[in-house]
Structure 1
Amino acid sequence: MRSRLMSFTIQRGTNISHWLSQSKRRGAERRAWFTQPDVKRLADLGLDHLRIPIDEEQMWDEAGNPEPEAFDLLQAALDWCADVGLRAIVDLHILRSHYFLDTSPKLYTDPAEAERFAALWQSLSEQLHERPVDWVAYELLNEAVAPDPADWNRVAMMGYRAIREQEPERVIVLGSNKFCMPETFDQLEVPDDKHLLLTFHFYFPLLVTHYTAGWMPSGAYVGPIHYPGPAILPEDMAVVEEPLASHLRELNIPYDRERMRAELRKPLAVREQTGHPLYCGEFGCYHHTPQPLRVAWFRDFIEVLREYQIAWATWDYKGNFGLYTANGPDQEVIDILLQE
């Protein structure tokens, strides 16, 4: 494998979700959601970085002007990370023109929106360029969902060039089309640039990781599930009515550690070809997933990541997939993640 060493080196982290992204909290409530003690807690756990999702509608007004309070919070978080030795990835998560559940995002059909995307990265770079390149990285966009992978490659390069105009050595995190799925990695155009980190997300099998999740069509199923193997056994599938049953059957692929290895073949091949390190920027199980299955799934996937020397960040710190809930830490999962 070719190797391109970077000064921005990470191994294990988590996502700070529902703070500067996917949240209606503002003012004091937003300030209280994620604070300096949270950062210290995560550093004390043994994590080495945080992925910080941000949304356009929180960070910039509709005219493209930075929102001072939101940027003050982001800058504070980066300061807190630096104080305790945590690196950070600033992830542009949702745009006004692009959301990962959109069926036809304007980002890919309206040239003005693609230009706005590049302008947002120019603005973000202006705000953050003084941060050391070995401590802060930028992720171009969370889970691109272009109808054609060529559209994502085109738009991604616009953001990439906007950053490179001002910051030639900043590490840029780049993922493939269609939710950063490993399966689409061979469609990604990778620039010849040693300051890149290639990312994928992993939530397979969905019937386990998103059990009863209301935003997923499969979430309507509330019967028994299993892992490893098929999530839904034949006798349980037999009592599910159509059209849900047909949808579930499409997803009901047997999963185990070996299947996980097979799913990563394309990212591993791209790493071999390019020398760029890999990063699993999101993975996790919804809290409604039965705890024994959640533990078994995490144990298998983290072993695969370790085997292939892939850095990772869980989804998420204290959201619906969190390492922490209102009842405290999910210690079983934390122990699996952080065991040496």
Structure 2
Amino acid sequence: MASMAAAIKNWLLGLAALFLLAAGGLAAQAAEFSVKRGINLDQWTTWPDESRWNEADVLLPFPEWRRTVGQPELEALRGIGFDFVRMPVDPSPFLSAQASRLHERLYDEVLESARRIQQAGLKVVVDLHLIPAGGNRSIGMGQVMDDPALFDRYVGLVGRMARSLSKEDPSRLALELMNEPVTECEGAAAGAWTERLKRLHAAAREAAPRLTLVLAGGCWGSAEGLAALDPAEFGDDNILWTFHSYAPFLVTHQGATWAGDFIRYVNGIPYPPHAVPAPEMERMLEGVRHRIRDEAPWSRRSGMLAYLDEEMAKLDTAEKLQAVMEEPFSVVSAWARRHGIEPPQILLGEFGMIRQEYGGEFVMPAASRAAYVRDMIDIAERHGYGWSIWSYGGAFGVVEEFESRKAEPDVLEAVRNLP
């Protein structure tokens, strides 16, 4: 009976979307919302245990950045040259029974946070930003994507969030329906994301006919994932299409323990790598090889050593490095031309370079981070795309690092000095 009820509900939702489209209710005009230069705010810094999500003083204010980032800090972002903020919102508390008594309050908190950003003279993308479960939380990206009933609840969450935001000025606020959907990058599983995204889109559009919706492809929100979508299937001009790029991953994620079993052993490679004299670079790479030989699982060592050499060979000249960084943009640009998508409808939602891994000792030189950000901005703006740096604080922090300590000013100065 439950499965039949869910099927009927999904059929009715699709029928409602078709009715709105036929009536001209689905985005009767192109997007009013447009952005150029942005920054991602933090999601969590304390990462509270789910067992305490029923405690108001643990979850509120929400999102957690409001405890340390006030109007002066938001207005400072505007003064640096940003025109919008991408505001990650963790959907897991909205899906957790542990936080049920606070659910309505959390929707109000998101709306209040978005309004505070707008009061600082910035536009805002409210970004529904699932992360992996485990440790101190039971619900995350994997559970939402693997459990049909939980995905149904996520669709409902998207609709409820859209309704909460629906009366905001559509030229000042947009809603992103899911951050970096974790799907296969090829085959039938990759194609299944389109049907799921259509459900999310229909729920949000029914609840908020005027808001610009931000849609990503599968495959972790990559350029290839976006290129697998057909915009015609959504019948909506009021959309920003988004993708993320951290190319070259070998450099941007050095030391990240959560990003796979190889990259955690890599550190000390500056940007751009080809600018370092060969003997100095060889000493740096030998340090990486030493860590792999000493710390990596025995069965993986030879493969990791070979992979390190292969990846470095892609970056050893300025031309090769440029090609690696340009490739995601070329994929998106080709897709956009095929489907008649104009450059202002495309958002590079995340890019950046790690400063320091949580608990790690290596700190990426500030000059390397600033140089990388300048180069990525140059590529994005030559294509006519808006962009937002990851992120305000934390491991990739450009304003703060950890525990509200100030990060080096180099990246912000690079933004401030943009033409």
TM-score tier (shorter): 0.7 to 0.9
How many residue pairs were aligned?
333
**Aligned equivalents of 1:114, 1:103: Cα separation in 2:** 11
Question: C-alpha deviations, 1:117-161, integer Å up to 9, x for none?
Answer: 210112112221111211111111010111321222111111100
- Is the 1:12–1:313 Cα contact (8 Å) retained in structure 2? yes
As a proportion of its length, which structure holds more helix? 2
Matching residue's letter, 1:56: P
Question: C-alpha deviations, 1:35-62, integer Å up to 9, x for none?
Answer: 2232222122221111111112234543
Matched, 1:142 2:208: no
Taking structure 1 as reference, are residues 43 and 23 closer, same or farther at Cα in structure 2, changes over 3 Å only?
farther
1:1-340 to 2 correspondence within 5 Å?
6-19=31-44, 23-24=47-48, 26-27=59-60, 30=64, 31-62=66-97, 65=100, 67-94=103-130, 105-147=142-184, 148-190=189-231, 191-216=234-259, 217-229=261-273, 236=285, 239=290, 240-241=292-293, 242-243=301-302, 244-249=304-309, 251-252=311-312, 253-254=314-315, 256-272=321-337, 273-276=339-342, 277-287=345-355, 288-325=363-400, 326-338=404-416, 339-340=418-419
Q: Secondary structure at the match of 2:129?
A: strand
Taking structure 1 as reference, are residues 95 and 223 closer, same or farther at Cα in structure 2, changes over 3 Å only?
closer
**Aligned equivalents of 1:295, 1:96: Cα separation in 2:** 29
**Aligned equivalents of 1:103, 1:78: Cα separation in 2:** 23
Matching residue's letter, 1:296: A
- Is the 2:71–2:120 Cα contact (8 Å) retained in structure 1? no
**Aligned equivalents of 1:337, 1:74: Cα separation in 2:** 27
- Is the 1:61–1:67 Cα contact (8 Å) retained in structure 2? no
**Aligned equivalents of 1:39, 1:223: Cα separation in 2:** 32
> 1:245 Cα deviation (Å)?
2.0
Q: Secondary structure at the match of 1:91?
A: strand
**Aligned equivalents of 1:224, 1:113: Cα separation in 2:** 42
Question: C-alpha deviations, 1:247-303, integer Å up to 9, x for none?
Answer: 434543325234322331111122222324110111111113222322221221111
**Aligned equivalents of 1:28, 1:111: Cα separation in 2:** 31
Which has the higher mean CA deviation after the structures are superposed, 215-224 or 124-133? 215-224
**Aligned equivalents of 1:62, 1:40: Cα separation in 2:** 36
**Aligned equivalents of 2:195, 2:98: Cα separation in 1:** 24
Q: What residue ranges of structure 1 are gaps of 5+ in the alignment? A: none
Question: C-alpha deviations, 1:149-178, integer Å up to 9, x for none?
Answer: 122211111110001112223211111111
Taking structure 1 as reference, are residues 14 and 104 closer, same or farther at Cα in structure 2, changes over 3 Å only?
closer
Q: Secondary structure at the match of 1:320?
A: helix
Which has the higher mean CA deviation after the structures are superposed, 133-142 or 212-221? 212-221
**Aligned equivalents of 2:268, 2:391: Cα separation in 1:** 25
**Aligned equivalents of 2:409, 2:74: Cα separation in 1:** 18
Q: What residue ranges of structure 2 are gaps of 5+ in the alignment? A: 1-28, 49-57, 294-300, 356-362
Q: Secondary structure at the match of 1:269?
A: helix
**Aligned equivalents of 2:328, 2:85: Cα separation in 1:** 25
Which has the higher mean CA deviation after the structures are superposed, 212-221 or 47-56? 212-221
Query: Following superposition, which runs of at least 4 residues in structure 1 exceed 4 angstroms of deviation?
Result: 63-66, 95-98, 229-235, 237-240
Taking structure 1 as reference, are residues 103 and 33 closer, same or farther at Cα in structure 2, changes over 3 Å only?
closer
Seq. identity, %: 24
Q: Secondary structure at the match of 1:67?
A: helix
Q: Secondary structure at the match of 2:97?
A: coil
> 1:321 Cα deviation (Å)?
1.0
**Aligned equivalents of 1:215, 1:152: Cα separation in 2:** 24
Query: What do you get for the CA RMSD once the two structures are aligned?
Result: 3.0
TM-score (norm 2): 0.71
Q: Secondary structure at the match of 1:256?
A: helix
**Aligned equivalents of 1:189, 1:105: Cα separation in 2:** 25
- Is the 1:317–1:323 Cα contact (8 Å) retained in structure 2? yes
Q: Which residue number corresponds to residue 26 of structure 2?
A: none
